[in-house]
Amino acid sequence: MLSTDQDVAVKRDLLRRMMLIREFETVVSKNFAKGEIPGFTHMSLGQEGVAAGVCAALEPRDMLTSTHRGHGHCIGKGSDPARVMAEIYGRVDGVCGGRAGSMHIYDFENGVLGMNGIIGSGGGLACGAALAARHRRSDAVVVVFMGDGATDHGATHEAMNLAAVWKLPVVFVIENNGYSEGTPLASHTTIERLADRAAAYGMPGERVDGQDVVAVLNAASRAVGRARAGEGPSVLEAITTRYHGHFEGDAKKYTLPESWPATGRDPIDLLRRALLEEDGVAEPDLDDDNARICQQIQDALDFARNSPWPAAECLLDHLFATPEE
Amino acid sequence: MAHVAKQEQMDMRDGISRALIEAMESDPAVIVLGEDVAGGAGTEEYDVVGSWGGVFGVTAGLAERFGRDRVLDTPLAESAFMGAAVGAAIGGMRPVAELMFVDFFGVCLDPIMNQASKVRYMSGGQVKVPMVIRTAFGAGLCASSQHSGSYYSIFAHLPGVKVVVPSNPADAQGLMISSIRDDDLVIFFEHKALYYQKGPAAEPGHVVPLGKCAVAREGADVTLVGVGRTVLTGLEAAGSLADQGVECEVVDLRTIVPLDLDGVLASVRKTGRLLVVDEDNSRCSVATDLVAQVCERAFAELKAAPAMVLPPNVPVPFGPGLEAAYMPTAATVTDRVLNMLA
């Protein structure tokens, strides 16, 4: 167990990560509704505990693959919110030069091997990245974020099997928010514990309360530790909930049952209350953290809004690394 | 009388194998993965009894030579290992993944189409994806409709994918070296019926650049463009047409992407006549694209309407009779050329 001082410091770091994601996506959602952002976008509001807890278990050299709902993964891992915001705005200062948009943030320097518009694609990519890491004698670990819906996808199962048979340093993190897009869990799978999928591939599968970010951190640290020690892949299922619809604009008339473990439990409120009531942290200190984060996101928004659109001249750039002759 | 040394012969499997060995010896980042690429060799715990090297034996011996860390048997799960090849390429390796038959792309198109071919473009050039997919294609082995397709037109349709189709062993060696050294996704098509055909061996270090067609036979009357096995069809037709006083120039496309359109146009401008012979599915294909591009660029210089000798628009059938009826033949090419000149 962590000592008390370290414990509080870790919790405050987790709270800051979650608040950063919350504020970032709240601003994206608000300005998407105003028509400022092209295309479409998917919020993870309510799921911040999973992104923050897992990313806090990672080292800078570690990597992750993400999903269509992955802003929190990128920012949680340490991507610059200003450059991610500019990318979502389609601007030239975006982390991909404004060529990728909300669903396809790539930030390789930060180990973000890509959000992905294709469900199930992350697992195979992660296996390869892990294989390459092993070849260069790195002990880096690769996390595969996926939703509950992706656990039905054949590509996910193939990747889990490959990771297991090659004993790769991969952690499959299932963010189970009870809905595959708009289809409830019971309509897309018959098993109740998605972590049980791990048994089919001979790897550990653990379920954790995704609204308890400290529990997520501890469980993720166990899985990451196994991977780093060469003990192979794991599955970590986090039960969570998303506040918004599948995409921004989805009126979300569907709800989770009261019995769903994450219902009515906000990961930020829970940790904030624990810090105030159990750890004796002064409220103004947390409010200061929050004010700094709000200012950081306001600055990110200003940066994105003021960045130019990419010039039409770059349309043909970066198709090939070795140019066509 | 001077002694003339008989030139060493090799088949296409030898050419590809030699290129793989050369690439793996010179660059530790090159790895080979796929189904049964080391299969038959047991496991590291068991005695190595001789790897298959895939169903056509192209990678035989590599596992013994380079070890299991660099020659990786995969589960029968193309989606996973093709995705892993993409991830490994992004991570700094140079994977050569074997897709046993190109017809199997249906179960692993996503890593190719939505990941490998787009990640560099979408990410604003943050990474490169230096990987090769080796795959067997083509009719002629009575392998029926799910093991006989060509499909390179489908991949040529995708921006960000390079497509290579050698017609002879030496080119296969030189093009494979270029493909492995290339910093992009290259799909390398190996015609099953050419694996065992002998040709002159290439020197070690032989390189054929991507994006350069070759004139396989010179002639002034008609340009015959082929790719892979249909280069041989064109050469056979050119031989019989020469007996009738018609000189055909046979152009071997060699790479479909990058396309050496200037090379094709140079020949067409010389002859004024174009016939494309191809065995891929006939609609929306490399052949139709080539004819369209030549018409767009050199219509005024054509002396006759361009012609295409292609299979009928059906899947490759099974038995020898139907398969022979399906394949473009030298006799058909000869007839069409004579019609063009009439």
Q: Report DSSP letters for A191-222, one per residue.
A: -S-GGGGGGGGT--EEEEETT-HHHHHHHHHH
Query: CB pairs below 8 Å between A and B: how many?
Result: 159
Q: Taking the domains of chain A in order of start, what are their residue ranges?
A: 4-270
pLDDT category at A5 given cuts 50, 70, 90 is: confident
Predicted pLDDT of residue B39:
81
pLDDT above 70 coverage of chain B, percent: 96
Q: Which residues of B are catalytic?
A: 147
Stated as kind and residue range, the H or E segment containing B90 is helix B78-90
Q: Does A99 touch chain B (CB under 8 A)?
A: yes
- What CATH fold (topology level) applies to the domain A4-270? Rossmann fold (3.40.50)
Among the partner residues B29, B69, B90, nearest to A113 by beta-carbon distance? B90
User: What would the two tokens of residue A33 be?
Assistant: 């509704």
CB contact under 8 A, B182 and A322: yes
Q: Which chain B residues are Cβ-neighbours of A117 within 8 angstroms?
A: 114
Predicted pLDDT of residue A324:
43
CB contact under 8 A, A162 and B81: yes
Do B307 and B340 form a contact (C-beta atoms < 8 A)?
Answer: yes
CB contact under 8 A, A135 and B93: yes
Q: Do domains B9-200 and B214-341 have the same CATH topology?
A: yes
Please list, residue by residue across B289-309, b when 16 or more beta carbons sit within 10 angstroms of its beta carbon and e when fewer do: bbbeebeeebeeebebebbbb
pLDDT digits (tens, 9 = 90+) for B5-60: 678 999 999 999 999 999 999 999 999 999 999 887 666 665 566 788 999 999 99
Predicted pLDDT of residue A1:
45
List the B186-191 sheet strands across, edge first: B71-73, B30-34, B94-101, B132-137, B186-191, B162-164, B255-257
Do A92 and A310 form a contact (C-beta atoms < 8 A)?
Answer: yes
Q: Taking the domains of chain B in order of start, what are their residue ranges?
A: 9-200, 214-341
> Which of B:172-191 have CB within 8 Å of A?
182-184
Helix or strand or coil: residue B332?
helix
Predicted pLDDT of residue A225:
98
pLDDT digits (tens, 9 = 90+) for A105-124: 999 999 999 999 999 999 99
CB contact under 8 A, B91 and A108: no
Which residues, in sequence order, are bridge partners of residue B198? B11
- Cα–Cα nearest to B176, from B10, B9, B18, B11: B18
Residue A112 per-residue DSSP state = B
> Which of B:187-216 have CB within 8 Å of A?
209-211
pLDDT digits (tens, 9 = 90+) for B197-248: 999 999 999 999 999 999 999 999 999 999 999 999 999 999 999 999 999 9
Sign of the CA dihedral A167, A236, B92, A319?
Answer: positive
Predicted pLDDT of residue B45:
61
Picking from A150-164, A184-198, B32-46, which range would have the lowest pLDDT averaged per residue? B32-46
pLDDT category at B1 given cuts 50, 70, 90 is: very low
Distance, in Å, from the CA atom of A8 to the CA atom of B114, rounded to the nearest integer, reads 43
Class in CATH terms, B9-200: alpha beta
Do A169 and A138 form a contact (C-beta atoms < 8 A)?
Answer: no
Q: Is the pLDDT confidence value at A44 over 70?
A: yes
Q: Does B159 touch chain A (CB under 8 A)?
A: yes
Query: Is the domain defined by B214-341 classed in CATH 3.40.50.150?
Result: no
Give the largest CA-CA distance in chain B: 69
Do B172 and B16 form a contact (C-beta atoms < 8 A)?
Answer: yes
Mean pLDDT computed over every residue of chain B: 95
The predicted model scores a pTM of: 0.96
pLDDT digits (tens, 9 = 90+) for A8-21: 999 999 999 999 99
Q: Which chain B residues are Cβ-neighbours of A104 within 8 angstroms?
A: 122
pLDDT digits (tens, 9 = 90+) for B332-341: 999 999 999 9
CA distance B224 to chain A (A): 23
Q: Is the pLDDT confidence value at B282 over 80?
A: yes
